[in-house]
Copies of this chain bind each other. A is one copy, B any other.
Amino acid sequence: MTSFARRVSVEQVEEGTELAPKFDADGLIACVTTDAGTGDVLMVGYMNAEALARTIETGEAHYWSRSRRALWRKGATSGLVQRVVEMRIDDDQDAVWLKVEVAGSGASCHVGYRSCFYRSVPLGGPPDATPSLRFEEHEKRFDPKAVYGDAPNPTQL
């Protein structure tokens, strides 16, 4: 499996060329995934060391599913595979950015929308109010029931 460097100094981590990711207490690193064409953020996911290594080796996005507690090859059920065009790592190497092309309907959200970020939050309202969300996508790209059937919904309260 792809191996990662040991983190030995701030200079190595920030200014060096060794991939030395920082996994959190749960063994995970945050991953932002954007559409390589539009630049829109599609989702925020998490990777463990295996998911990160598989993504690097295969060029297809793999995550760690926190709800299912399992390695998750994105698109394994839905067919909506994410082909990685470019991978970036941030300054302290505790976050990854994937630019991807999505297969099929182009959706990345289990609710059926293209992006998981299909609602906006209004800014500058009265400070004691509860903001009311606005839908920025109006049509689902697929029917989640048809694609996922009776699989448990990953959203947790």
Contact = CB atoms under 8 A, between A and B. Distances in A.
Contact of A153 (B10, B96, B131, B134): B10
Contacts of A14: 111, 155
Nearest to A157: B7
A139 interface: no
Contact of A97 (B41, B90, B111): B41
A19 B90 contact: no
Contacts of A76: none
B155 A19 contact: no
Nearest to A60: B123
A84 interface: yes
Given A111-B14, A132-B18, A121 B89 contact: yes
Contacts of A96: 121
Nearest to A39: B39
A143 interface: no
B121 A88 contact: yes
Nearest to A136: B88
A132 B4 CA distance: 10
Interface of A: 1-5, 7-10, 13-19, 22, 30, 32, 34, 38-41, 43-44, 53, 55-59, 84, 86-92, 95-97, 109-111, 113, 116-125, 127-136, 153-157
Given A14-B111, A17-B135, 10 more contacts: A10-B157, A38-B39, A39-B40, A56-B121, A56-B123, A87-B121, A88-B119, A88-B120, A91-B110, A95-B116
